[in-house]
């Protein structure tokens, strides 16, 4: 759907203020950024995380007493898909050294490193290998590779962006490994945006002190994912990939070491038991929980499974109360709603504007601050633009990029976005985009240390599923880095743990039995069954016509 | 003058010398070679099989590209490319039924009816530049160099696309003479080099090559000129083995006609990529003073 | 709809939340045929959301839902028209009377290789995928590509030995497999393109020298103490360092600027 005539009228207001704004941009002048105190104020008033409605404390498990959004709390207090006492753990279907849960960027790099360490690896993943948040990442990956930069500044930017709530050993690991990760990707044949002499064409991003964002067109995550997946496929002698085979429960051994997982073949609904000397949780984020009804940028399988399974096994989490809303999700056209418009658009100089074409914020604030400022402008100041389907948005003035960097820049720097909008009759090099914050990133996750280890021997975590790297707010480009840094660390450390000699004792699900007992004791009624694996988008009308109440055997219809 | 030009795959890899020399030579003649955009394989042997219309799609698509880009003639160097393109062009021009089928199949492209003329560089040089002009431009005449003009099959067969009538060799002769060389006509000039037979009957192909090379040597030739990478392979690559096996006695260094044109016009030998030739002899050109002074 | 009266922002409207589609008030439905069977769905939805609206739950055939993972290739015809159309279910908007089916998987041969050993020459690619030379330039691959990649173009480039061109032309490939599903030469185009891109990235594109230098510095332990010091600081000290850091100017080229403070580089 191209813009309606009414919207085109409104765009004229944006065009009217553009020359003046361009002149300022050319002089290097920007809308002033907020002070620390102002940041705090706008966050506390307008950021969904800071609002107390729809939040509650959980009553069981390692994070007992902590407060979470309702959707998250419900899954932390959930029951297993299987009845633990009825599962026969004596027939093992697969025996392996390392079991990696999740075929996104973190899991895939862990698998490569574990195989490099001589281990046999199984990657069990929910959808196809690579169907993940990783493949969707557009903007880029951080790494202090330029001379004017260093891991020191990467550390500072990261911890400042996270409001100093980050877990420090994780930040240090990230800043330290980042250039190593990028060099690794380069050696695997990833195509980075480079200047003719090979120098990384790196850019600024929200919250950066140095141009540290390295990218591959606007398909950075896709390029990473394609390359490392291809590398896994070249190692079929050591790595087996099981697609449509999500894990539904972790297995421990009688000594409390992690010892594998139960998988489910989603197509045939058969279960299988994998015994593994080490397990890496790399199951990604939770966007598909649609916290507070927000649209999301995340892939179809982002349902927090790893956090849920680890929680039952006794591994707690941190910062999970904090969700990252990406300030610029698509608000129009309807087909693209929720999808991300990379921060690179603002990095390239596009302004965020209200209905009158006025700037109301510094375009490159940390993401949570930026999101809160957009929500304020639309909801409180009332200067948002209403779409024909009743969504609200603000303008992102992409045509400025053509003026600032030369004609053709939008198509060259943002090819995927350009095509995505062009399909719907909108030329973003000439018309602005309509945007609104969208649920983007699970800031928190399971507790690990700088070596990717959890408190359970043999259980590792990496990627969006872990918490603490970004504190309560993540900077762009740090999670693509996080998945490679901690993915590689998890794979390498799992391999050396196994090389140190691991003998597994009998498999058990006692931790699940114990957890469910706690649930009952806490009086939690009708707990959810999780992991939920996939969201359900059936409409109310369809659900009604499924006659769930009148059915003789509900299970038969699942 | 600008010409639209179709190179062909081999000229971008193994036979880069065929092309490099041509481009350099044409530049000295003030002719600007403009490679058509987005071309694909000429169709090679596929398009020559009898009843498989789909294989004409490849060559025709290149002709469509040329038409789209406003060309009225499309120049090419490799005999095989010339042959397949020219034959596909014939079909599109003369056979209404096949034209219609192919145009319908290629419904993502503009319709094509043979509007672009496919021209081999030899024809082009005679027709649009002229031997006289070339003679005037020669800086290093190939005086005393005796060259056998080798046509192989695809330049002249079938008759309706041949660059000149079967049995006549005046185009290459005219060019070589204009460059100052002595042309040594020989009976095997239009004998097939063995073509793709080399893939499944190497021995047979080799003996064909032996006949051609022997015959050329007997005519007094010191060098052989060709316009086809496959001929170059069969005659050049096999030459060493034939000598070794004693199947032939005299070496006949093999060049692309574009290379001889280029050196005569004073193009530096490095620009002609002689190292890619299988059986060229720079020494020969040097002793005959056919190379521009370094 | 875009009422200049800003109070409309506060009016409560039934809006779609999350990804669940609704039939907005007054919106029209249109008939579509999912694998031949008719369903009435709201206009303007993508095929994916329309199928969910109709009651389907995806297992295969949905991944990123954002046009980049290649899980949802779909073919369709409009009633009465011979033309086959191709698209991504998550990106293509439904039209009345479209007959559609998904092709969530299509088998394609993939050759294993070692990136460390393969080298930058096209011959290695030709050797792994001799079927490359079965291409007859029918162009069905290009027509099928939902990302508008010039598939024939990159296949032609590879036959010509031009890896760089193939890498650039194929860069937007999301490996959905529609090209391979249409190929009469039975070529697994997208696997070959992947190989070409890796070979390009590894052997042909110039390496980043500043990166190699930084790797050396890190491995020599240059930053270990600095990072430890940061981790040991109080929040206030960190905040001070954070606020004081210089910002690289926006319009300078990468590598051109040096900060005043160089102790931590
Ligand atoms: C649209 C978008 C744009 C982004 N842009 C950027 C960016 O520019 N820069 C940046 O740094 N970051 C960006 N991010 C964030 C970043 O991409 C992700 O945080 C990161 O890639 C997560 O990687 P991961 O491997 O941890 O998880 P994922 O890549 O999501 O992979 C998780 C995998 O686990 C599988 N899985 C889930 N549950 C189970 C289970 N129970 N059993 C087995 N497998 C399971 C999933 O199917 C999936 O394959 C972006 C994210 C999105 C969504
Ligand atoms: S679901 Fe990923 S491309 Fe459509």
- The pLDDT confidence band at residue C25, using thresholds 50, 70 and 90, is low
Whether A517 is covered by a domain: the verdict is no
Which tokens is A451 given? 């070596």
Instruction: Count A/C contacts: CB-CB distance under 8 Å.
Output: 317
- Domain co-membership, B68 together with B172: no
- Domain co-membership, B15 together with B92: yes
- Domain co-membership, A109 together with A121: yes
Q: Is the pLDDT of residue A302 over 60?
A: yes
What's the CA angle centered on C169, arms A330 and C172, to 5 degrees? 25
* Mean pLDDT score, C150-167: 96
Number of domains in chain A: 2
Choice among A367, A391, A474, A492 that is catalytic:
A367
Domain boundary among A487, A508, A529: A508
Domain boundary among A437, A454, A486: A437
Taking the Cβ of residue A226 and every Cβ of chain C, the question of whether any pair is shorter than 8 Å is answered with yes
Partners of A217 on chain C (C-beta within 8 Å) are 171-172
Q: How distant, in Å, are the alpha carbons of A34, A156, A202, A476 from that of A470? A: 21, 12, 21, 10
Q: Is the pLDDT of residue C45 over 90?
A: no
Q: Is the pLDDT of residue C6 over 50?
A: no
CA distance B195 to chain C (A): 17
Partners of C71 on chain A (C-beta within 8 Å) are 127-128, 131
% of chain A exceeding 70 in pLDDT: 99
| C10-102 is a CATH 3.10.20 domain | yes
CA distance A256 to chain C (A): 32
Low-confidence residues in chain B, pLDDT < 50: none
**Euclidean distance between CA atoms A46 and A309, whole angstroms:** 32
- What is the distance in A from the centroid of ligand 2 to the CA of C72? 5
How high is the pLDDT of residue A391? 74
Report the interhelical angle of C151-159 vs C189-199 (nearest 10°): 60
- The pLDDT confidence band at residue A134, using thresholds 50, 70 and 90, is very high
* Mean pLDDT score, A126-155: 96
User: DSSP 3-state assignment of A264?
Assistant: strand
User: DSSP 3-state assignment of A326?
Assistant: strand
* Mean pLDDT score, A330-348: 84
Chain C, nearest residue to A379 by Cα? C9
8 Å CB contact between C80 and C153:
no
Q: Is the pLDDT of residue C12 over 50?
A: no
Q: Which domain holds residue B165?
A: 140-287
Whether B134 is covered by a domain: the verdict is no
Q: Is the pLDDT of residue A73 over 90?
A: yes
- Domain co-membership, B146 together with B93: no
- What is the distance in A from the centroid of ligand 1 to the CA of A282? 9
Mean pLDDT of chain A, nearest integer: 93
How high is the pLDDT of residue C22? 67
How high is the pLDDT of residue C4? 36
- Ligand 2 atom 3: the closest Cα is on which residue? C67
What are the tens digits of pLDDT across the range B151-181?
Answer: 999 999 999 999 999 899 999 999 999 999 9
Among all chains, which residue has been given the structure tokens 């590689």? Answer: A488
Strands A121-124 and B146-149: unpaired
Inter-chain touch C1–A135, beta carbons under 8 Å: no
**Euclidean distance between CA atoms C4 and C194, whole angstroms:** 50
Domain boundary among B121, B154, B171: B121
What are the tens digits of pLDDT across the range A204-225?
Answer: 988 899 999 999 998 999 999 9
How high is the pLDDT of residue A50? 78
CATH architecture of C122-204: Orthogonal Bundle (1.10)
Ligand 1 atom with the shortest distance to the CA of A477: 11
Q: Is the pLDDT of residue C207 over 50?
A: yes
- Domain co-membership, B113 together with B144: no
Number of domains in chain B: 2
8 Å CB contact between B171 and B131:
no
Max avg pLDDT among A105-109, A318-322, B36-40, B43-47: A105-109
3-state DSSP of A509-546 = CHHHHHHHHHHHHCCCCCCCECCCCCCCCCCHHHHHHC
**Euclidean distance between CA atoms A544 and A558, whole angstroms:** 15
Interface test with C, best of A2, A151, A473 (most C CBs within 10 A): A151
- The pLDDT confidence band at residue A416, using thresholds 50, 70 and 90, is confident
* Mean pLDDT score, A523-527: 93
A476 lines ligand 1 (CB under 6 A): yes
What are the tens digits of pLDDT across the range C243-259?
Answer: 999 999 988 899 999 99
8 Å CB contact between C265 and A150:
yes
What are the tens digits of pLDDT across the range A225-269?
Answer: 999 999 999 999 999 999 999 999 999 999 999 999 999 999 999
Q: How distant, in Å, are the alpha carbons of B17, B240, B281, C42 from that of C32? A: 58, 68, 70, 10
Q: Which residues pair with C156 in a beta bridge?
A: none
- Domain co-membership, A407 together with A472: no
What are the tens digits of pLDDT across the range A377-409?
Answer: 988 899 999 877 667 899 999 999 999 999 999
A320 Cβ neighbours under 8 A, 6+ residues apart: A63, A68, A72, A307, A442, A443, A444, A445, A467
- Domain co-membership, A348 together with A497: no
Chains that touch B (3 or more CB pairs under 8 A): C
Domain positions in chain C are 10-102, 122-204
Q: Is the pLDDT of residue C13 over 60?
A: no
Mean pLDDT of chain C, nearest integer: 91
Chain C, nearest residue to B60 by Cα? C137
- Domain co-membership, A318 together with A397: no
Which tokens is C67 given? 């046009």
Which tokens is B169 given? 């060799």
Q: Which domain holds residue A84?
A: 76-322+443-508
Q: How distant, in Å, are the alpha carbons of A318, B180, B267, B271, C4 from that of B25? A: 72, 16, 7, 10, 69
Partners of C161 on chain B (C-beta within 8 Å) are 9, 12-13
* Mean pLDDT score, A55-67: 95
- Domain co-membership, A469 together with A425: no
- The pLDDT confidence band at residue C24, using thresholds 50, 70 and 90, is low
Whether B247 is covered by a domain: the verdict is yes
- Domain co-membership, B157 together with B274: yes
Ligand 2 atom with the shortest distance to the CA of C64: 2
Taking the Cβ of residue B200 and every Cβ of chain C, the question of whether any pair is shorter than 8 Å is answered with no
* Mean pLDDT score, A280-304: 91
Burial of A555 (0-12, 13-18, 19+ CB in 10 A): exposed
Q: Which residues lie with the beta carbon below 6 Å from any ligand 2 atom?
A: C 62-65, 67-72, 88-90
Residue numbers of A between 424 and 483 with CB closer than 8 Å to C: 424
Q: Is the pLDDT of residue A555 over 70?
A: no
Q: How distant, in Å, are the alpha carbons of B208, B222, B259 from that of B248? A: 11, 14, 25
B70 Cβ neighbours under 8 A, 6+ residues apart: none
Interface test with C, best of B11, B12, B88, B199 (most C CBs within 10 A): B12
% of chain A exceeding 90 in pLDDT: 74
What ipTM was estimated for this complex? 0.93
- What is the distance in A from the centroid of ligand 1 to the CA of A104? 6
Domain boundary among B92, B121, B150: B121
Q: Is the pLDDT of residue A557 over 80?
A: no
C229 Cβ neighbours under 8 A, 6+ residues apart: none
Inter-chain touch C160–B13, beta carbons under 8 Å: yes
- Domain co-membership, A194 together with A166: yes
- Domain co-membership, B74 together with B169: no
Q: Is the pLDDT of residue C32 over 60?
A: yes
DSSP 8-state secondary structure symbol assigned to residue B97: H
- The pLDDT confidence band at residue A552, using thresholds 50, 70 and 90, is confident
Whether A209 is covered by a domain: the verdict is yes
What are the tens digits of pLDDT across the range A437-473?
Answer: 888 898 999 999 999 999 999 999 999 999 999 998 8
What are the tens digits of pLDDT across the range A139-152?
Answer: 899 999 999 999 99
CA torsion, ordered B211, B216, B222, B224, to nearest 10 deg: -90
Q: Is the pLDDT of residue A49 over 90?
A: no
A140 lines ligand 1 (CB under 6 A): yes
Inter-chain touch A189–C68, beta carbons under 8 Å: no
- What is the distance in A from the centroid of ligand 1 to the CA of A464? 6
Nearest bound ligand to the CA of residue A298: 1
A367 is catalytic: yes
Chains A and B touch (3+ CB pairs under 8 A): no
- Domain co-membership, B60 together with B152: no
Of B43, B55, B61, the CB nearest to C139: B61
A396 lines ligand 1 (CB under 6 A): no
DSSP 8-state secondary structure symbol assigned to residue B235: I
Partners of C198 on chain A (C-beta within 8 Å) are 188-190, 227, 230
Query: How far out from the chain centre does Cα A224 lie?
Result: 15
% of chain C exceeding 90 in pLDDT: 82
Taking the Cβ of residue B45 and every Cβ of chain C, the question of whether any pair is shorter than 8 Å is answered with no
Lowest mean pLDDT among A44-58, C49-63, C118-132: A44-58
Of B12, B41, B46, the CB nearest to C161: B12
């Amino acid at each position: 759907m191209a813009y309606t005539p009414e919207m085109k009228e409104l765009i004229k207001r944006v065009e009217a203020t553009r020359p003046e704004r361009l002149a300022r941009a050319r002089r290097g002048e920007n809308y002033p950024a907020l002070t620390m105190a102002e940041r705090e104020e706008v966050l506390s008033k307008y950021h969904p995380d800071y609002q107390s409605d729809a939040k509650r404390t959980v009553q069981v498990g390692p994070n007992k007493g902590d407060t979470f959004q309702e959707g998250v709390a419900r899954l932390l207090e959930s029951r297993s898909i299987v009845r633990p006492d009825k599962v026969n753990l004596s027939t093992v279907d697969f025996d392996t050294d390392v079991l990696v849960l999740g075929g996104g960027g973190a899991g895939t790099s862990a698998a490569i490193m574990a195989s490099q360490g001589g281990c046999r690896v199984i990657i069990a993943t929910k959808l196809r290998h690579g169907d993940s948040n990783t493949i969707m990442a557009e903007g880029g990956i951080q790494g202090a590779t330029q001379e004017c930069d260093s891991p020191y500044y990467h550390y500072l930017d990261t911890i400042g962006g996270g409001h100093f709530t980050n877990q420090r050993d994780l930040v240090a690991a990230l800043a330290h490994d980042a250039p190593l990760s990028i060099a690794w990707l380069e050696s695997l044949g990833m195509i980075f945006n480079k200047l003719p002499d090979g120098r990384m064409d790196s850019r600024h991003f929200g919250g950066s002190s140095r141009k540290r964002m390295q990218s591959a067109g606007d398909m950075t995550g896709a390029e990473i994912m394609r390359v490392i997946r291809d590398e896994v496929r070249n190692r079929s002698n050591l790595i087996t990939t099981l697609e449509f085979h999500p894990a539904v429960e972790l297995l421990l051994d009688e000594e409390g070491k992690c010892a594998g997982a139960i998988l489910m073949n989603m197509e045939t609904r058969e279960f299988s038991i994998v015994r593994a000397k080490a397990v890496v949780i790399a199951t990604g984020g939770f966007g598909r929980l649609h916290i507070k009804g927000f649209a999301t940028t995340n892939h179809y399988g982002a349902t927090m499974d790893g956090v849920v399974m680890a929680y039952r096994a006794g591994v707690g989490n941190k910062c999970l109360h904090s969700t990252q809303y990406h300030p610029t999700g698509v608000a129009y056209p309807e087909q693209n709603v929720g999808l991300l418009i990379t921060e690179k658009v603002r990095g390239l100089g596009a302004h965020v504007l209200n209905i009158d074409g006025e700037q109301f914020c510094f375009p490159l604030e940390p993401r949570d601050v930026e999101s809160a400022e957009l929500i304020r402008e639309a909801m409180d100041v009332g200067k948002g633009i209403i779409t024909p389907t009743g969504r609200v948005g603000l303008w992102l003035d992409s045509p400025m990029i053509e003026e600032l960097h030369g004609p053709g820049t939008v198509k060259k720097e943002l090819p995927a976005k350009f095509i995505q909008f062009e399909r719907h009759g909108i030329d973003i090099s000439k018309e602005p985009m309509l945007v609104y914050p969208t649920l983007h990133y699970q800031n928190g996750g399971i507790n690990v240390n700088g070596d990717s280890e959890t408190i359970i021997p043999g259980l590792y975590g990496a990627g969006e599923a872990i918490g603490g790297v970004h504190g309560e707010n993540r900077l762009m480009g740090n999670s693509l880095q996080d998945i490679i840094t901690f993915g590689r660390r998890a794979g390498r450390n799992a391999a050396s743990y196994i090389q140190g000699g691991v003998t597994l004792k009998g498999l058990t699900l006692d931790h699940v039995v114990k957890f469910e007992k706690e649930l009952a004791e806490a009086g939690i009624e009708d707990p959810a069954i999780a992991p939920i694996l996939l969201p359900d988008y059936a409409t109310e009308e369809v659900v009604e016509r499924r006659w769930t109440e009148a059915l003789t055997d509900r299970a038969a219809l699942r | 003058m600008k010409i639209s030009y179709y190179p062909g795959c081999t000229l971008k890899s193994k036979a880069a010398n065929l092309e490099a020399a041509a481009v350099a030579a044409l530049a000295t003649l003030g002719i600007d070679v403009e490679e058509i955009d987005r071309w694909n394989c000429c169709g090679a042997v596929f398009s020559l099989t009898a009843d498989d219309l789909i294989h004409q799609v490849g060559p025709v698509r290149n002709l469509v590209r040329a038409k789209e880009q406003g060309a009225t003639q499309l120049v090419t160097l490799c005999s095989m490319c010339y042959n397949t393109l020219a034959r596909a062009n014939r079909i599109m021009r003369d056979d209404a039924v096949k034209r219609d089928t192919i145009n319908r199949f290629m419904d993502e492209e503009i319709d094509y009816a043979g509007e672009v003329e496919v021209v081999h560089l030899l024809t082009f040089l005679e027709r649009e530049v002229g031997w006289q002009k070339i003679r005037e431009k020669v800086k290093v005449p190939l005086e005393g160099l005796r060259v056998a003009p080798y046509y192989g099959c695809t330049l002249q067969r079938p008759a309706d696309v041949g660059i000149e009538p079967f049995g006549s060799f005046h185009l290459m002769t005219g060019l070589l003479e204009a460059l100052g060389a002595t042309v040594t006509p020989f009976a095997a000039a239009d004998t097939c080099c063995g073509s793709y037979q080399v893939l499944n009957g190497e021995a047979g192909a080799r003996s064909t090559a032996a006949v051609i090379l022997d015959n050329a040597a007997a005519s007094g030739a010191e060098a052989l000129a060709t316009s086809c990478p496959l001929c170059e392979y069969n005659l050049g690559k096999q030459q060493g083995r034939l000598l070794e096996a004693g199947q032939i006695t005299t070496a006949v260094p093999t060049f692309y006609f574009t290379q001889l044109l280029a050196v005569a016009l004073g193009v530096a030998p490095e620009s002609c990529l002689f190292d890619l030739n299988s059986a060229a002899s720079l020494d020969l050109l040097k002793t005959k003073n056919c190379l521009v002074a370094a | 709809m875009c009422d200049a009266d800003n109070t409309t922002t506060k009016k409560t409207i039934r809006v779609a939340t999350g990804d669940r589609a609704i039939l907005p008030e007054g919106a029209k439905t249109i008939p579509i045929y999912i694998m031949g069977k008719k369903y009435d769905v709201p206009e303007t939805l993508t095929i994916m959301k329309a199928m969910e609206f109709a009651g389907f739950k995806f297992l295969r055939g949905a991944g990123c839902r954002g046009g980049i993972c290649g899980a949802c290739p779909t073919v369709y015809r409009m009633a009465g028209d011979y033309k086959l159309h191709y698209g991504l279910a998550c990106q293509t908007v439904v039209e009345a009377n479209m007959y559609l089916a998904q092709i969530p998987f299509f088998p394609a041969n993939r050759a294993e290789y070692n990136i460390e050993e393969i080298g930058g020459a096209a011959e290695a690619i030709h050797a792994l995928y001799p079927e490359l030379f079965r291409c007859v330039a029918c162009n069905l691959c290009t027509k099928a590509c939902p990302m508008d990649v010039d598939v024939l173009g990159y296949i032609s480039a590879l036959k010509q030995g031009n890896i760089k061109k193939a890498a650039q032309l194929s860069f937007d490939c999301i490996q959905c497999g529609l090209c391979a599903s249409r190929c009469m030469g039975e070529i697994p185009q997208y696997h070959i393109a992947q190989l070409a891109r890796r070979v390009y990235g590894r052997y042909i594109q110039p390496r980043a020298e500043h990166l190699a230098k930084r790797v050396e510095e890190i491995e020599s332990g240059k930053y270990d103490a600095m990072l430890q010091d940061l981790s040991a600081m109080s929040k206030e000290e960190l905040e001070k360092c954070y606020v004081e850091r210089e910002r690289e100017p926006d319009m300078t080229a990468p590598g051109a600027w040096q900060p005043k403070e160089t102790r931590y580089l």
